[in-house]
Chains A and B, each alone.
Chain A
């Protein structure tokens, strides 16, 4: 007599178990995707622990009357200087815009096609990169010391809270 019970058992359990496992995983994935994604906290806006101690306060030394006067007058002069600077900037902006408008009008009178092509947006403008000005010019023949930079930024991960 042949015993056929064992092979049959394997057939029943395996595909069902696999199916159940897959369903469970799909459910879990759906649940995880539903949870709101958190943003990485920015370390700049978190004051370090050592500065939270309120007992350490530096005493301000008293200033003389002349010193106060000098400072107040300096502030006024600085405010005036900045105002002049701002006005000059606005003037340059206005003149730039006016010159541009004039040029475009002249171009329109010349040829409509060129004007339409000029008005379109420039694809090569972006991405635009520029380094800030440096304090000193480049030193010729400078050899940088050998070494490397290691990135030690803290990697934040979002854990799945099974609540």
Chain B
């Protein structure tokens, strides 16, 4: 009876009844018409195993620093092009220009972000007395374009181009990316620091 069911040949009557009786111990979803694991076309539509492993997108792993590349003898590692100015529009447009330039010259841009704005009060001494009075409130904006894989022969050329297009009032600085640069962007945790101080 079992042999008949496995081959899948249909008997007129009671076939389903027979199958359900003999295959009951396996799974209730098994049916005689389905060929699985024995046919050569088993797993014909599988593709998930060919894709690269997906990183978990849990909220916990969202803010994690990317590994800093050191670079070899002929290539620079992660470089930060930092642009600082008092005028936000200028600095944003310049950052966009630098980003587009790197795209055009096929330099890999890792990230393009903004650093937190710094506000400063300028207090000047009054002419008559020695009291300080509030003159102006200045906001300093900073944008960073992070690139990597810059070849040593091309670096001075790129610097020349960026310098020649530098707008007035924008301070340019190119540095290597460090962990400290990343930590500046994160919020301070005073409670944690307190506990750590108490522990040690």
A interface residues (Cβ-Cβ under 8 A, vs B)? 22, 25-26, 28-29, 32-45, 89, 93, 96-97, 100, 104, 119-122, 125-135, 145-160
Among listed B34-42, B46-54, B181-189, interface-contacting one: B181-189
CB distance A126 to B153 under 8 Å? Answer: no
Q: A40 contacts B155, CB within 8 Å?
A: no
Task: Check B179 for interface membership: any CB of A closer than 8 A.
Answer: no
Instruction: Name the A residues within 8 Å of B170 (CB-CB).
Output: 132
User: In the complex, are the beta carbons of B159 and A128 less than 8 A apart?
Assistant: yes
Q: Can you list 22 A-B pairs, Cβ within 8 angstroms, ordered by A?
A: A25-B195, A29-B196, A40-B187, A42-B114, A44-B88, A97-B154, A122-B152, A126-B76, A126-B175, A126-B176, A128-B159, A128-B172, A128-B174, A128-B175, A129-B171, A130-B166, A131-B172, A132-B166, A147-B123, A148-B132, A152-B119, A157-B187
State whether A146 touches B125 (Cβ < 8 A): yes
Q: Does chain A have a CB within 8 A of B167?
A: yes
How far apart sit A158 and B185, CA to CA, in the bound complex (Å)?
12
State the Cβ distance, A20 to closest chain B Cβ, in Å.
14
Known: A32-B195, A40-B185, A121-B71. A149 touches B122 (CB 8 A): yes
Given A149-B122, A157-B189: A131 and B171 interface contact (C-beta under 8 Å): yes
Which residue from chain A places its CB closest to the CB of B152 in the assembled complex? A121
Q: List B residues at the A interface (Cβ < 8 Å).
A: 59-63, 71, 73-76, 79, 85, 88, 114-125, 132, 135, 137-138, 141, 152-157, 159-161, 163, 166-176, 185-192, 195-196, 198-199
With a 10 A CB-CB cut-off, give which of A22, A40, A157 has the most chain B CB atoms.
A40
Tell me the smallest distance from the CB of A134 to a CB of chain B, in Å: 6
Contact of A128 among B120, B132, B173 (CB under 8 A): B173
Whether the pair B116, A146 counts as a contact (CB closer than 8 A) is: no
